Amino acid sequence: MPLIKRVKMNSIYDQTLALASMFQAAALIDQLANGQSINQAAFDCSLDSLFTLNAQSVQDIYGHGEGLMQGLKILKAYFSGEEKQPNRLITYYVLSMIKLEGRLNKNADMVEAIQQGFETIEQQADSYALSQSGRVHKIDGLYQNTISQIKPRIMVQGDQLHLSNSDTTSRVRTLLFTGIRAAVLWRQRGGSRLKLLFSRKKYIEQAAQILAHL
């Protein structure tokens, strides 16, 4: 899994961007699974985050949050209580990404296989001018050969008509990968399950500040 090479200190700003990426991936997964249209710019940001292989900072991956507006808004709404009837599946997907990342972190061989897998996909994309769809299907294959082997799997719920579509499932698995990658960054920058409980106000304030500058 591509990681940040240098981590100097904990940062609520960085944690907020990574957490917003998880919420954004979760929301896009839920929309795809139910046949809804998605924000293509949000999907592009999530996809591109997987190919920033030698990032020196979270900003190298997400910029200043321009592609994470959807995730930042959802994070803020969920943690502040603005969302009166929150979609429980989004919460389930985010927490599942964090749990899977914790299990992945203990499997050095799989981490290496994922790192090499993304490097290979990037090389193929450059050599053969792969379309976005081509990259997504290759990421899907990598996910099935690695993350899908970790139990328990994330169970995506939705309309079976759409979930039986290979293009949809490939995009869903790609988004699961982006969420797990974001969970790696979140942990690296000091994120933890305790912070989900006790640092919500800080995340809300930071998300609001980022959104105000976009």
pLDDT of residue 5 exceeding 80? no
Which residue bears the tokens 């809300």?
204
Give pLDDT, residue 55.
81
The candidate with the shortest Cα–Cα distance to 213, out of 114, 107, 72, 86, is 72
151 burial level (CB within 10 Å; 0-12, 13-18, 19+) = exposed
192 versus 2: the higher-pLDDT residue is 192
pLDDT tens-place string over residues 98-155:
999 999 999 999 999 999 999 999 999 888 888 999 999 999 999 999 999 999 999 9
Against a cut of 0.85, is the pTM above it?
yes
Angle subtended at Cα 55 by Cα 14 and Cα 75, rounded to the nearest 5 degrees: 30
pLDDT tens-place string over residues 39-59:
999 999 999 999 887 788 888
pLDDT of residue 202 exceeding 60? yes
Domains identified in the chain and CATH numbers: 12-212 (1.10.3890.10)
Burial 40-67 (b: 16+ CB within 10 A, else e): eebbebbbebbebeebebbeebbeebeb
Token representation of residue 159:
């309309």
Give pLDDT, residue 9.
47
81: confidence class by pLDDT, cuts 50, 70, 90: confident
Helix axes 12-33, 166-188, angle to 10 degrees: 170
